[in-house]
Amino acid sequence: MLKKIVALAALALATSSSALSAPGGCHAVSGTFVNHNIPCTVPAVACVESEVTGGLAGVTITIVTSYDPVTHVYAGTVTNNLENGAVLTSTIVGTTFNGFGQSTETLTGGTRQFAHVTGSTAEAGVNGAGTYTADYCLGQVGGDD
């Protein structure tokens, strides 16, 4: 009976949100995305919701705050609501022309293990669908982070 209790306690610890949000380490992940425009609830040039698969699976909201029609360069902010409940935030700079697009996000923070994240993601796609790769490092969290 004691072995079962210890095993259940170990399983509970391994799957708890605090275990899933353990800080530290660097990671390389990749996946796919599908974008669709959504109404903006804030002043913005455009708002995009993305369904993301892979290492950063979840739903992402991008708020485009500037766009240059001559260079086709845009910039804005991104909030990734991950499937595990964590949030990852970043800034984005990209280009789009005739359905083709590419962008780079600079990770700025978030919740849980992403509170002190550093790194970036690179995205490329055609007509609102594509792939991404991300390289990020999770900082050591101290105190009540």
Residue 114: left (phi > 0), alpha (psi -120 to 50), or beta?
A: alpha
pLDDT of residue 24: 76
Average confidence (pLDDT) per 10 residues, the chain, 145 residues: 33 33 79 97 95 98 97 98 97 96 97 95 97 93 47
DSSP H/E element including 18: helix 17-20
Q: How far apart are CA 123 and CA 53, in angstroms?
A: 13
pLDDT of residue 20: 40
3-state secondary structure of 11: helix
pTM: 0.79
Q: Delineate the domains of the chain, giving CATH numbers in brackets.
A: 23-137 (2.40.350.10)
Q: How far apart are CA 37 and CA 30, in angstroms?
A: 23
Query: What's CA 11's distance to the chain center, in Å?
Result: 27
